[in-house]
């Protein structure tokens, strides 16, 4: 029998309930649906990485790591960033190993945003941004990317900035649209923010997953933006170990000082044996430089398998995802379409409306191709059977 609380309380997030991801997950489990919904690989990581963690545990690396991360892992991150993006970060003061990219995002927002501030972000958006901003007593300002291109209107950004704007959240490659920023985008962003005190929080967890020979134009590739940016990435996304919950954060020392103040009271440090293994694994560039080609094959395999489906696929430039349009054959809300796909066809996807604070419905669903070939084929076969309603 469940307990009933004996105390009155007031929710900080009264309009936040169970996310659509949990709802879809529960419904999918009930119907044993093929999982094209979750942005997590269903195939194993490199055994060498697991062996590295096992070896680290056996060698006694089981106590707290230094608060900001193992020096060896921070050095490996610094070397990678300097090689790829030509930007140097001080290992002691400008790199943080976090207990997941999500923890780094929370720590950055909590450390740098104050009550009364405004934070600009772009919708559709990863679902944690707005709630975390609200928890700081600040106001999230969502700017909508126009479907189906999902490009940023920089004039809209300029118009949205007010004296209260403290932070602007960027996500490239973008979840859920799978679009990426260009060098020209970065130049426009730099011009808009020049002579302001606005911080950029750049969510770059898919930094190594770009397709068709595209380059990653993250904030570290632009020296002017690097000076005002907190950059977040994820070892979990990069190395197919999302359950390990280890990421990293880059920022100028003055900004990182505030991020670390929050991190030390949230987690103190990320898991030690994972850091030990990752420090060695990261020094081999082929482990991440091959990711784009690896996932491009999966993207293309799913595109080909869906050629006879009723869905129209939007171009995918990066990340684990692609969007599929169905408005030409059904006027169902996307949340109902997703439920019908689970119940009637046994395949789970995600409605794009879940990535908008106001539930905007563009008649688009998100598919994840971070799956093994058998799952991709089975999911596509199910989607090819979908009938108009």
What integer is the mean pLDDT of 10-32? Answer: 84
Looking at the DSSP bridge assignments, the partners of residue 229 are 200
* Average per-residue pLDDT for the chain: 95
Task: Give DSSP secondary structure letters for 282-325.
Answer: TT-THHHHTHHHHHHHHHHHHHHHTTTSS-EEPP--BSSEEEEE
* pLDDT confidence tier of residue 44, bands split at 50, 70 and 90: very high
pLDDT at 23: 83
Q: How far apart are the first and last CA of the chain?
A: 43
What's the pLDDT tens digit per position in 324-358? 999 999 999 999 999 999 999 999 999 999 999 99
Share of the chain above pLDDT 90, in %: 91
Residue 328, SS3? coil
How confident is the model over 85-120, as pLDDT tens digits?
999 999 999 999 999 999 999 999 999 999 999 999
Residue 13 pLDDT exceeds 90: no
Confidence at residue 20, expressed as pLDDT on a 0 to 100 scale:
74
Q: Which two tokens stand for residue 300?
A: 């293309």
Q: What's the confidence (pLDDT) of residue 97?
A: 98
**Residue ranges of the chain that CATH labels 3.90.1150.10:** 20-39+289-384
pLDDT confidence bin for 22, thresholds 50/70/90: confident
Residue 197 pLDDT: 97
- Residue 208's pLDDT is 97
Task: Name the CATH topology of 47-284.
Answer: 3.40.640
Which numeric CATH code is attached to 20-39+289-384? 3.90.1150.10
User: Which long-range contacts (C-beta less than 8 Å, at least 24 apart) are formed by 357-363?
Assistant: 357/123, 357/130, 357/140, 357/142, 358/142, 360/123, 360/124, 360/144, 361/333, 361/334, 361/335, 362/147, 362/148, 362/325, 362/327, 362/334, 363/325, 363/326, 363/327, 363/330, 363/331, 363/334, 363/337
Q: Give pLDDT, residue 8.
A: 82
Residues of the chain with CATH 3.40.640.10: 47-284
| DSSP labels, 140-208 | EEEEEPPTTT----HHHHHHH--TTEEEEEEESS-TTT-----HHHHHHHHHHHTTS-PEEEEE-TTTT
How high is the pLDDT of residue 332?
A: 95
pLDDT at position 184 is 98
- At residue 4 the predicted structure's pLDDT band, cuts being 50, 70 and 90, is confident
The string of pLDDT tens digits covering residues 117-141 is 999 999 999 989 999 999 999 999 9
Q: How confident is the model at residue 38 (pLDDT cuts 50, 70, 90)?
A: confident
């Amino acid at each position: 029998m469940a307990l009933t609380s004996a105390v009155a309380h007031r929710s900080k997030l009264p309009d936040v309930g169970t996310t659509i991801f949990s709802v879809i997950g529960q419904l999918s489990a009930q119907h044993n649906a093929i999982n094209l919904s979750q942005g997590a690989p269903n195939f194993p990581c490199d055994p060498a990485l697991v062996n590295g963690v096992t070896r680290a545990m056996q060698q006694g690396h089981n106590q707290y790591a230094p608060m900001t991360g193992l020096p060896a892992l921070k050095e490996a991150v610094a070397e990678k960033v300097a090689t790829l993006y030509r930007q140097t970060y001080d290992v002691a003061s400008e790199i943080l190993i976090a207990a997941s990219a999500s923890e780094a995002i929370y720590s950055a927002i909590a450390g740098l945003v104050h009550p009364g501030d405004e934070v600009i972000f772009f919708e559709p958006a990863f679902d944690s941004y707005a709630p975390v901003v609200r928890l700081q007593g600040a106001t999230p300002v969502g700017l909508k990317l126009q479907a189906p291109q999902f490009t940023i209107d920089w004039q809209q950004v300029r118009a949205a900035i007010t004296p209260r704007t403290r932070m602007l959240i960027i996500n490239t490659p973008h979840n859920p649209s799978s679009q990426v920023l260009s060098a020209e985008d970065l130049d426009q962003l730099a011009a808009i923010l020049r002579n302001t005190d606005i911080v950029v929080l750049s969510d770059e967890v898919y930094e190594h997953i770009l397709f068709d020979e595209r380059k990653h134009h993250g904030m570290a590739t632009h020296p002017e933006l690097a000076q005002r940016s907190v950059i977040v990435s994820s070892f979990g996304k990069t190395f197919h170990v999302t359950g390990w919950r280890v990421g990293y954060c880059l920022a100028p020392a003055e900004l990182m000082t505030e991020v670390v103040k929050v991190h030390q009271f949230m987690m103190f440090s990320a898991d030690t044996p994972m850091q030990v293994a990752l420090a060695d694994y990261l020094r081999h560039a082929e482990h991440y430089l091959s990711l784009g080609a690896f996932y491009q094959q999966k993207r293309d395999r799913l595109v080909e398998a869906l050629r006879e489906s009723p869905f129209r696929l939007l171009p995918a430039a990066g990340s684990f995802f692609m969007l599929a349009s169905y408005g030409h054959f059904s006027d169902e809300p996307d949340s109902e379409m997703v439920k019908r796909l689970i119940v009637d066809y046994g395949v789970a996807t995600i409605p794009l409306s879940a990535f908008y604070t106001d539930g905007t419905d563009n008649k688009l669903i998100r598919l994840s191709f971070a799956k093994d070939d058998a799952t991709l084929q089975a999911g596509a076969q199910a989607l090819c059977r979908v009938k108009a309603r």
